[in-house]
Amino acid sequence: MNDDWAAYCSEIDNKSPELTASPPKLNGHSHEGFVVSALSRLKSASINDHIEEMKERLAKERDVVPGMITTGTVTLVYAPPGAGKTVWILGSLFQSIRNNLIKGSDVIYFNEDDGVKGIIQKGEMGRLHGMTMVSLALSKDPSLRTTDDALRLLNAIREEGEADGKIVICDTLKKFAPVLNKGDMREVLHVFREFAAAGGTVILLGHCNKHRSMDGRLIYEGVGDLKSDVDNMFGLDPVNDKYAPYQELLVINEKDRSQISFEGGFKYKQTSEVVNYKQSVDSVEFMSPDDISELKTKQTQQINIAKAQSKYEDEYYFLSDVMWKSGKTWTMRQLKDLLRDEEINPNECTYKKLRSCIELLRGNNIKVIRSAAHGAKIFEWQEM
């Protein structure tokens, strides 16, 4: 009977080879000939066995830009074109290197926002501080010519265990991915997040829209959900024009993973006939919350001007045209009388809107003077 049973099993095996073949691999994953189940893979990917390693890495966290950006994070810093975000980041990095907060040899700077002259200028400055300055357009490595090549290289650095402690600057983000394309941006941010998770640091420089929001604030140029994909997000709001000796930048805290959110600003000497670019970079200086009360007043003035220009556009240009070109002072009654003149007021500005516009502009474009005789308000236009 036993012999008959053995013969039967042998016959079944021969007829049904699929019963004796190895089970199919799950997504192609196996280990030494054994299939790795989905549950086993999930458990092996857990952080349970790596918590101590992660705590050690967290203990090594240090400032890159004091009080603002720390290692192991992905940070987006945006500003209007020409505000000086490159001056700011270079000046801040150089100071951190000189103060031994970071090593210059750990910094990798991708300069994708400059012409040849600017690349050489910033390259020489970075080289003096031991930084690795990269311009993909001028790369001599044929496999490192595009931003896709750069992203693959960052992935390779991480996989080889070399990301820990490295600080990557992308100047600017829109050269690495279309900032208005959610799909592409998500993939690029995934590379940066993996790099940061391995102990690296990524600082992305971005732009904001030319025009401010209806309430006068900066608007980041890019997809809105980018904010959820980074650890920190800061705006640099310039409050001086390009002709001022110093540019002052108020830091807008959009998102900060720190327990105590960053408050403050920066200032630097603007490049001019007497101040070269290197001197501008070397002059970058932190401004504490106590130093920026005047800065916030200037920002409020800018916001109010932007509100007036967007909400009361016709009234704003009516006032600037009449008051600035004449160079005279005006009472409210005189301005009201001018509204009846169709040539001066072709857009039919109303008295109600004119008063609202004047209220927003008081203390910035419009200076209020009190008449000594009767205390009446007299208005004078002043350029900001």
The reply to whether omega before 20 is within 30° of 0 (cis) is no
Given a cut of 50, is residue 127 above it in pLDDT?
A: yes
Residue 14 or 196, more confident: 196
* Sheet strands (E) in the chain: 30-31, 34-35, 63-65, 69-70, 74-79, 107-111, 132-134, 167-171, 201-207, 232-238, 246-255, 265-269, 285-287, 330-331, 366-370, 377-381
Residue 82 · residue 222 · CB < 8 Å: no
How much is the mean pLDDT over the chain? Answer: 85
**Helix, strand, coil tally for the chain in percent (to 5):** 45, 20, 35
Instruction: Please report whether residue 213 resides in a domain.
Output: yes
CA nearest to 195, candidates 224, 223, 146, 230: 230
* Domain match, 340 and 367 both: yes
* Domain match, 247 and 359 both: no
Chain segment 294-305, per-residue pLDDT in tens = 777 877 887 888
- Local confidence band at 112 (pLDDT 50, 70, 90 cut-offs): very high
pLDDT for res 271: 93
Instruction: Please report whether residue 227 resides in a domain.
Output: yes
* Domain match, 22 and 110 both: no
pLDDT for res 116: 93
For 145, residues 6+ apart whose C-beta sits below 8 A from its C-beta are: 136, 137, 139
* Domain match, 229 and 329 both: no
Whole-angstrom Cα distance, residue 111 to residue 107?
12
Instruction: Please report whether residue 298 resides in a domain.
Output: no
Which residue segment(s) compose the domain that 19 sits in? 2-46
Whole-angstrom Cα distance, residue 313 to residue 344?
15
pLDDT for res 11: 57
pTM of the model as a whole: 0.74
Q: What is the CATH number of the domain that holds 365?
A: 1.10.10
Percent of the chain at pLDDT > 90 equals 53
Domain count, the chain: 3
Compute CA distances 208 → 90, 170, 218, 340, whole Å: 20, 16, 6, 40
* Domain match, 251 and 125 both: yes
The residue behind tokens 């070109």 is: 325
Chain segment 163-183, per-residue pLDDT in tens = 999 999 999 899 988 877 777
Instruction: Please report whether residue 305 resides in a domain.
Output: no
Q: Which whole number is the average pLDDT over 341-345?
A: 91
Residue 285 · residue 267 · CB < 8 Å: yes
* Domain match, 41 and 75 both: no
Given a cut of 50, is residue 25 above it in pLDDT?
A: no
* CB neighbour class for 169 (10 Å; exposed up to 12, middle 13-18, buried from 19): buried
- Local confidence band at 22 (pLDDT 50, 70, 90 cut-offs): very low
Residue 77's SS3 state is strand
Instruction: Locate 336 and state its tokens.
Output: 């009201």
Instruction: Please report whether residue 29 resides in a domain.
Output: yes
* Domain match, 41 and 82 both: no
* Domain match, 148 and 14 both: no
* Domain match, 192 and 253 both: yes
Given a cut of 60, is residue 23 above it in pLDDT?
A: no
Listed range (66-75, 150-159, 199-208, 364-373) with the worst mean pLDDT: 364-373
Chain segment 211-235, per-residue pLDDT in tens = 777 666 788 888 777 888 899 999 9
Structure letter (DSSP) for residue 49? G
Residue 130 or 369, more confident: 130
* Domain match, 42 and 64 both: no
Whole-angstrom Cα distance, residue 298 to residue 292?
10
* Domain match, 165 and 276 both: yes
Instruction: Please report whether residue 302 resides in a domain.
Output: no
pLDDT for res 373: 65
Q: Rg (Cα) of the chain, in Å, rounded?
A: 31
* Domain match, 78 and 38 both: no
Q: What is the CATH number of the domain that holds 235?
A: 3.40.50.300
Instruction: Please report whether residue 334 resides in a domain.
Output: yes
Instruction: Please report whether residue 297 resides in a domain.
Output: no
CA nearest to 249, candidates 229, 260, 235, 230: 235
